[in-house]
Amino acid sequence: MTDPAPRQKKPDACSFVLFGVTGDLAHRLVIPALYNLAATDLLPDNFCVVGVVRNPMSNDDLRDSLMKGLRQFATRKVDDALATRMLECVTCVVADPGQPASFDQFREQLEKLEAERRTSGNRLFYLAVPPSAFAPISRELGRTGMLKENSGAWRRLVIEKPFGTDLASARALNAELLKIAEEQQLYRIDHYLGKETVQNILVLRFANGMFEPIWNRNHIDHVQITVAEKLGVGHRGSFYDVTGALRDMVPNHLFQLLSLVAMEPPARFEANAVRSEKAEVLAAIQTQSETDALKDSVRGQYLGGRIGDDEIGDYRKTEDVRPDSITETYAALKLTIDNWRWAGVPFYLRTGKALGAKRTEVAIKFKRAPFAMFRDTPVDRLSQNYLVISIEPTQGITLQFNTKVPGPTISIDGVEMKFRYKDYFNAEPSTGYETLIYDCMIGDNILFQRADSVEAGWQAVQPFLDAWKKAGASGLESYQAGGHGPTEADTLLTRDGRNWRKLT
Ligand code: BG6
């Protein structure tokens, strides 16, 4: 077992201004991630958290609530003394974009805190708020000059997903943000990039000599990207019912996986070089006509069923979901990438809620070996080789290949060679946000989305959004909770002579 290499560099002094500090994301992921950074001594020496609320709240109440969240969601054992020390640097401040004067006062309070905590004026503004609040808050930060970088201090703005709801709104939001900040001040988060195995796709491809020569249409038959979830929509009905599986998962999380798997090698391991290649490959996804979009996609909505020991109701009966909702909770797409490397190699993507298994993986299927040599033997089939990059529930990489079954006759069977992270590395479980927050603090935006790749992602899914909107309820399939999704999704592959990997 190998211990992970320690990350040496402590970030510069800074204040971490958290909008949405009373919300779920802050409690569940952001504060536990800060705690993990504190536990590994990776928070700045001079640091403060400014929790922004709309209605006044005392520092003690806010700290108590964050402590409760930490106890519930921490990924490592909570050391009370350390947690208390970290939460002592949280201050509650009121600011409401609906009341611009409150931002002027907020600015004064922030400057005072910065002087007390000696944070050198460096600021990280983190918007853990609903998407409708991104633009109003950013506008106020711009108007009050809080984002202006001066006297050597840096100012950064972190924006959560979903970044827009379609191509037009993503463009409008980008345009708005770029009026008040430079691109390199913007950190558009996709938490998938905080996952170790996702980052490892780059290392797997570009730090090993053996994969790149076969990573193309000459050797790869197709790629399957799966993000299957067991959970239903739960209490997120109001968000989910206007969002749906495609918007929620595809232009962001699934496209992060797709772009890392399909991008060209960047010349340098540096933010702009890597992000340019990622944007380039997303822009090369073939734009579909609406007719093709319908032909190359399947959408479904779950009906009640049993998932393990749990009973789940119909999606339409979920709290805050319209009883006649036609929102998809499952989406499968077939995409092609119009470039030299990938011409003719389909990328099949699927994601859904309330399925029989939680599984996130990228499976690369290689072309079948020529069979001729085994013609006069009892071997009647060769399985194809898969390279599977598993992100959930286990993190690792599996290679499937054919081998001879021991015995006097020639018989061949598919076997697996498995690498699991936990067998090699002794890493503490993380929330996935530690690396992202740390990178924001040191000013490395390699793991964040640039405006062009966000727009390229929306551009690729827009024909599906348009075609589905026009088709309305027609073409919306249903599937049983706890199953593997609508049967029509199987046809998307079987008509090409292929099959999805089994989910369970
Ligand atoms: C979020 C989506 O961005 O990602 C959720 O809004 C989804 O609907 C989640 O459940 C999946 O993340 P993970 O890390 O559990 O695969």
Which tens digit of pLDDT belongs to each residue from 242-276?
999 999 999 999 999 999 999 999 999 999 999 99
* CA end-to-end span of the chain: 30
Strands (E), 219-373: 220-228, 297-303, 305-307, 310-312, 330-335, 347-352, 359-366
Q: Please say if 219 is a catalytic residue.
A: no
**DSSP label at residue 253:** I
Residue percentage of the chain with pLDDT more than 70:
98
- pLDDT of 28-69, one tens digit each? 999 999 999 999 999 999 999 999 999 999 999 999 999 999
Whole-angstrom distance, CA of residue 364 vs CA of residue 378: 28
Return all residues near 474 (Cβ < 8 A) that are at least 6 apart.
none
- Judge whether 142 and 179 are in contact, CB under 8 Å: yes
Confidence grade of residue 411 (pLDDT, cut at 50, 70, 90): confident
Measure 100 CA to ligand 1 centroid, in angstroms: 33
Fold of 14-160: Rossmann fold (3.40.50)
Confidence category of residue 387, pLDDT binned at 50, 70, 90: very high
Out of 159, 248, 394, mutate this one to test ligand 1's pocket (max ligand atoms within 8 Å of CB): namely: 248
> pTM, whole model, 2 decimals?
0.94
Give residues with Cβ within 8 angstroms of 449, minimum separation 6.
163, 188, 189, 190, 252, 275
Question: Of the residues 189, 231, 249, 394, which should be mutated to test ligand 1's pocket, given the most ligand atoms within 8 Å of the CB?
Answer: 249
CB of 22 closer than 6 angstroms to any ligand 1 atom: no
Rounded to whole angstroms, the Cα distance separating 13 from 89 reads 13
Query: Is 160 near ligand 1, meaning CB less than 6 Å away?
Result: no
Residue type, 41: D
Does 3.30.360.10 match the CATH number of domain 193-366+429-439+450-494? Answer: yes
Q: Which of 27, 222, 253, 484 is catalytic?
A: 253
Cα–Cα distance for residue pair 214/211, rounded to 1 Å: 6
359 CA from centroid of ligand 1 (Å): 12
For CATH 3.40.50.720, list the domain ranges present in the chain. 14-160
Which residue ranges does the chain devote to CATH 3.30.360.10? 193-366+429-439+450-494
C-beta separation of 455 from 249 below 8 A: no
Distance CA 217, CA 402 (A): 21
90 and 66 Cβ atoms separated by less than 8 Å: yes
Condensed to tens digits (0 to 9), the pLDDT of residues 81-113 reads 999 999 999 999 999 999 999 999 999 999 999
For the Cβ of 361 lying below 6 angstroms from any atom of ligand 1, the answer is no
